[in-house]
Amino acid sequence: MTVQMSIDKQLPSTRTTELDSICLKAEVIPVIAIQRIEDAVPLARALFEGGLSVLEITLRTDCALEAIKRINEALPQASIGVGTVLTPAQYRQAEEVGADFVVTPGTTEALYRYGVTSPLPMLPGVATVSELMTGWQYGYRRFKFFPAEASGGVKALKSFAGPIPEARFCPTGGIGINNAEDYLALNNVMCVGGSWLTPKSLVEAEDWEAIRRLAREVADRFHH
């Protein structure tokens, strides 16, 4: 009982405040899979200089952790999230490389338990009200909604606001320049995530100037 009480007391204020301060910096968070380690810093720098200061680097590639280390060193002012965190072991790796927060596609009890004790805030992935309620029990108030479009999109998030109006979300999955505004118009959406900011063709061509321009357009269009 005492453990549960300490969890309830500890989490809502601290982690929610930290996540809110991160998400307030950017309405759009680029979700990035680094394929080549040499792309990491110039790509991140282009996005940052374009006005997007919160970046999510996914653990979907072999060089992801090294990429996060290098980006952290090169851009200390940026907020770096580690995405596609599936296990507490990967959560620990995110701590070790100096990330600012972690993001999960879905969430297990093991991740929720680990997140309560970690100094690194977690944005847990949920797709249903039941999953949201599980996170709520652990003290979480901020969530990733994934896969957003496939899970009901804007309509689903409007429905979530009925029973649990205090929860706020960063929807990701199927979001692009044409529908981001629909999500950001919702009261329970803090920001959106998307991979459309790093088109494969531009990254492969190392056209960092084009990515900087794209980031600038997005930052100007969706800025608070």
pLDDT, position 224: 58
Is 163 inside a domain boundary?
yes
Is 223 inside a domain boundary?
no
Whether 105 shows a pLDDT value over 80: the answer reads yes
Q: Is 102 helix (H, G, I), strand (E, B) or coil?
A: strand
Q: Quote the tokens at residue 72.
A: 């952290």
Whether 12 shows a pLDDT value over 60: the answer reads no
Domain that holds residue 27: 2-212
Establish whether 144 is a catalytic residue.
yes
Is 35 inside a domain boundary?
yes
State the catalytic residue, choosing from 66, 95, 144, 155: 144
Is 224 inside a domain boundary?
no
User: Residues 22, 187: contact at Cβ < 8 Å?
Assistant: no
Q: For the chain, count helices (H), then strands (E).
A: 10, 9
Q: Quote the tokens at residue 210.
A: 């084009």
pTM across the whole model: 0.92
Amino acid at 192: V
**More confident position, 62 or 26:** 62
Domain count, the chain: 1
CATH number at residue 155: 3.20.20.70
State the catalytic residue, choosing from 18, 25, 38, 56: 56
Is 179 inside a domain boundary?
yes
Is 185 inside a domain boundary?
yes
| Residue 67: how many other CB atoms lie within 10 Å | 26
Task: Report residue 26's pLDDT band, with 50, 70 and 90 as the boundaries.
Answer: confident
Q: Quote the tokens at residue 165.
A: 């109006």
First vs last C-alpha separation in the chain: 42
Mean pLDDT (the chain) is: 93
Q: Please give the backbone phi and psi of residue 18, each rounded to the nearest 5 degrees, phi first.
A: -65, -45
Is 220 inside a domain boundary?
no
